Amino acid sequence: MTMQQHEPQAGAPAGLTGIRAAGDRAILVELPSLQAVLSLQAQLTAHPQPGQFDVIAAAGTVLITADSTQAIQALAAHVRGLDLAAPAETDSTLVTIDVVYDGEDLDEVAALTGLGREGVVAAHTGQLWTAAFAGFAPGFAYLTGEDSSLEVPRRRSPRTAVPAGAVALGGAYSAVYPRQSPGGWQLIGRTDAAMWDLGRESPALIRPGNTVRFHAVRAQAAVAPQNVNQQHVNKQQPKPSDAAAEEQATEGLAVRKPGLQATIQDLGRPGYAALGVSSAGAMDLGALRRANRLVGNPEDAAGIELLFGGLELVALSDQVISVTGAAVPLAVTRPDDEQAGDERPDAMRQPACDAPFALLAGEQLTVGTPTAGLRSYIGVRGGLGGPEALGSRSRDTMSGIGPEPLQAGTVLTVGTPKPGSVVGNPEISPLPDQTQATVLRVVPGPRQDWFSAETLQDFLTQEWTVTSQSNRIGLRLKGNALTRSRDGELASEGTVRGAVQVPPEGQPVLFLSDHPVTGGYPVIAVVVHADLDKAAQLPPGTHVRFAAAALPADLPEILKETSHA
């Protein structure tokens, strides 16, 4: 089976250009104006439909995600019946941001625009910018200017790390990166303005509708709010040290060694993408659900996600534990027995993965190096406690929202099990066979018409290698470069977990849990929801092949109309 290009949609109602599939649980609504975009977003936000998760506005599109294909079908029908001529209310507060203009790409922008360095600075500071919509990351606002003199293409290859406070240009937009993150925009300066702060009543410094003026400075940059009603920044209170917390704690678990990367994860925080906040959550959602079922927790309880083993946990009180996901050796010891050289047969236990086991007070659990898979999940009966951020305990590595990654000395609180809950029976944890290419099924992406039929076939037939630059944001793949059949830049628009973006260099990126909520590179395909857990278990060096998904009879009509697969 091959994937065919999208065809224009006939019979679209007035004010609606068309609707495209964006995977099996999302649609991309194309609209003729920014006013229509904001109107649709406002109506769906004020009156959410059954199953609706996120509504992500962009320059000329609105991405809508839902919890099932059936919900997306109903949402598509609902959108077709809305009146999008009604204007959306906006907040035009003026925010002034001081900028030091010494960005890495300032000379490149000067050459591309023909303005020279001083001309670029004059053009950037000499006009008012309007925050059209949020996206990409929390606090990242897409700003539209009053003229097109600074319109420049994005970089051919995105940087893996753009520093926090970088002031940038991309296409017709300007923006400030709120924290270090990947990005393909041209960097012209930097600021110390706090673009996102959960300690404020309104975390985002710039909100859609706000007016922004940039001010050139030579020294340290700072933000100057221009409205007396603007929310004052609340400074975070200092936190007690982990060492002090461990000394006081008598319950829960203590981290002795965190391994390569250990974070707290639950099922994520869908519903905040309009603020630039991705859903985050466990990369292998099925593995976390199994870990929780095994210890008698609700499936959405918080647990530990561990990359490539190496974790050592000490029980401060009796616990019931399960480990799922990657195939890893487990060892339970008593640290005092190890120090004394105790060789008794019962001095060490080796519990099995995918089954509940006891970790008694004073015992240590060691999670070894995986023999298959990449990420392990540790469920604890009662679930891990601690404060929530936007309704979730998940760590979002891109935005920095949620608990800090685990460190030696971190103490983890454990909740009280629900009355009547029981531990589960052992389960099988499915893992990709790393001796051969893992097949991920895809449906056509909303922008696959940016590629020729030959390129689409090449995308499906070749094997791609997972590179070492992969992380929770996405799998970076390497293979024969894919070429676009269109010139120019794609306006930034919403993206979904599972989207396969193709930057100009032609090497695809498969978006995962912590992906940016908007992007400016065309999405050639979207991995079906059911196959995404496989991608979480693929180490660098393994191979991936994409296969066009068959369309089952009950797949929503909206996918049939726009995919033509």
Alpha carbons 358 and 320: distance in angstroms, whole number: 5
Alpha carbons 489 and 491: distance in angstroms, whole number: 6
Domains of the chain: 18-80 (3.30.1360.40), 94-225 (2.40.100.10), 242-412 (no CATH), 438-563 (2.40.100.10)
pTM score, two decimals? Answer: 0.82
Owner of token pair 């199953």 = 51
Which of 89, 82, 91, 72 has its CA nearest to residue 47? 82
Q: What mean pLDDT do residues 1-22 have?
A: 61
How do residues 179-211 score in pLDDT, each as one tens digit? 888 888 999 999 999 999 988 888 899 988 789
Q: What is the pLDDT of residue 342?
A: 52
Provide the pairing of β-strand 94-99 with 211-216. Answer: parallel
How do residues 43-98 score in pLDDT, each as one tens digit? 998 899 999 999 999 889 999 999 999 999 999 999 999 988 877 777 789 999 99
H-type helices in 354-498, by residue range?
453-461
Q: Is 358 exposed, middle or buried (0-12, 13-18, 19+ CB in 10 A)?
A: middle
Which of 306, 357, 360 has its CA nearest to residue 333? 360
pLDDT at 172 over 60: yes
How do residues 265-307 score in pLDDT, each as one tens digit? 999 999 988 888 999 999 999 999 999 999 999 999 999 999 9
Alpha carbons 465 and 320: distance in angstroms, whole number: 38
Q: Are 214 and 130 in contact (CB under 8 A)?
A: no
Query: For the stretch 286-305, what's the b/e string if a residue is b when 16 or more beta carbons lie within 10 angstroms of its beta carbon?
Result: bbbbbbbbbbbbeeebbbbb
How high is the mean pLDDT of the chain? 87
H-type helices in 366-463, by residue range?
453-461
DSSP 3-state of 456: helix
What's the CA angle centered on 345, arms 342 and 346, to 5 degrees?
Answer: 85
Provide the pairing of β-strand 372-380 with 303-307. Answer: antiparallel
Neighbour tally for 449: CB within 10 Å: 19
Alpha carbons 399 and 138: distance in angstroms, whole number: 6
How do residues 472-530 score in pLDDT, each as one tens digit? 999 999 999 999 999 877 888 999 999 999 999 999 999 999 998 988 899 999 999 99
Q: Are 26 and 72 in contact (CB under 8 A)?
A: yes
